């Protein structure tokens, strides 16, 4: 994905759909016709957008600790919704993270992850180092926060943008996995996903784990078992 890891970031993203286009080009380069797509956190939004944009290419969709079908609201310290990219970039409660990213402050992200991501079970040093490295390599943090704030493929308003209704184009089976101790994506966000799919007559498979935002650390066995069962189900 552009702006993450060692990928280039020559053309900044403006919306989640930009990542969907990137993913489409990626699967075409690999000559993959039918794919199973799994998205974690913001990646869940990208996975949903991809499944809506290219429904004939997606066999199954797995959403792990995903943002809502109605996006991920950017709010200030008082809980008020931020409206624009400029407000997000200049909000005091968020600029500390943006500045730490620009300065490649490993200590900041290690502490933040210890509290928000590894609140249920602390990761080993090697795994945490990889997560921290991914955070400081990210070059699209403000743009992604803005895109997630505006993302809405449901049919209702999210308080900032009206829903596009693109959710109805998703034809594949859907698995939603959420950790009950997640401090980043909430139960409400997860229930919105289920509710919005139900409004289009689609019942999703929903599984909860005894985990925080990173089931890969907290309950890898439960995660793998759930995903394998869904993938092999006819």
Give the contacts of 40 (CB within 8 A, at least 6 positions apart): 64, 65, 66
Looking at residue 126, its pLDDT comes to 84
Residue 1 lies in a domain: no
Helix axis angle for 106-116 and 92-103, nearest 10°, is 130
Residue 4 lies in a domain: no
> How many domains does the chain contain in total?
1
- Of 64-78, 112-126, 148-162, 165-179, least confident by mean pLDDT is 112-126
At residue 120 the predicted structure's pLDDT band, cuts being 50, 70 and 90, is: confident
Residue 3 lies in a domain: no
* Tokens matching residue 132: 């921290």
Residue 6 lies in a domain: no
Domain that holds residue 25: 16-232
Write the DSSP assignment of 17-77 as a string of letters: HHHHHHHHHHHHHTT-SSEEEEEETHHHHHHHHHHHH-GGGEEEEEEESPPBTTB---B-T
> Taking a C-beta distance cutoff of 8 angstroms, is the pair 62, 46 a contact?
no
> Taking a C-beta distance cutoff of 8 angstroms, is the pair 44, 64 a contact?
yes
The pLDDT > 90 percentage for the chain reads 91
Looking at residue 124, its pLDDT comes to 83
Q: Where are the beta strands (DSSP E) in 58-204?
A: 58-64, 173-179
Give the contacts of 29 (CB within 8 A, at least 6 positions apart): none
Residue 118 lies in a domain: yes
Average pLDDT, the chain: 96
Residue 190 lies in a domain: yes
At residue 4 the predicted structure's pLDDT band, cuts being 50, 70 and 90, is: very high
Give tens-digit pLDDT for 165-212.
999 999 999 999 999 999 999 999 999 999 999 999 999 999 999 999
How far apart, in whole angstroms, are the C-alpha atoms of residue 156 and residue 168? 13
Residue range 37-66: mean pLDDT, rounded = 99
Residue range 62-70: mean pLDDT, rounded = 99
Helix (H, G, I), strand (E, B) or coil at 110: helix
What's CA 216's distance to the chain center, in Å? Answer: 15
How far apart, in whole angstroms, are the C-alpha atoms of residue 46 and residue 18? 9
Residue range 8-16: mean pLDDT, rounded = 96
Residue 51 lies in a domain: yes
Residue 202 lies in a domain: yes
Helices (H) and strands (E) in the chain, counts: 10, 4
* Tokens matching residue 141: 């943090």
**Which strands make up the sheet holding 58-64, listed edge to edge?**
35-40, 58-64, 173-179, 205-209
Q: Domain with 165 in it: what CATH number?
A: 3.40.50.1820
């Amino acid at each position: 994905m552009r702006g993450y890891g060692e990928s280039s970031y020559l053309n900044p993203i403006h919306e989640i759909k930009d990542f969907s286009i990137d993913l489409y080009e990626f699967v075409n380069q690999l000559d993959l016709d039918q794919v199973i797509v799994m998205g974690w956190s913001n990646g869940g939004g990208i996975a949903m957008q991809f499944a809506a944009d290219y429904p004939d290419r997606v066999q199954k969709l797995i959403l792990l600790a995903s943002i809502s079908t109605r996006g991920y609201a950017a709010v200030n310290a008082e809980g008020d919704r931020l409206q624009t990219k400029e407000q997000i970039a200049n909000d005091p409660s968020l600029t500390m993270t943006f500045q730490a990213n620009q300065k490649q402050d490993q200590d900041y992200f290690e502490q933040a992850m210890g509290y928000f991501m590894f609140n249920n079970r602390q990761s080993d040093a090697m795994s945490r180092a990889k997560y921290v490295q991914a955070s400081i390599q990210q070059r699209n943090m403000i743009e992604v926060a803005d895109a997630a704030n505006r993302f809405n493929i449901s049919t209702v308003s999210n308080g900032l943008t009206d829903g596009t209704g693109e959710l109805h184009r998703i034809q594949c089976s859907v698995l939603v996995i959420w950790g009950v101790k997640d401090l980043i994506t909430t139960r409400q966000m997860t229930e919105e996903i289920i509710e919005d799919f139900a409004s289009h007559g689609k019942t999703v498979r929903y599984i909860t784990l005894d985990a925080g935002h990173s089931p890969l650390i907290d309950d890898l066995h439960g995660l793998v078992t759930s995903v394998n069962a869904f993938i092999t189900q006819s």
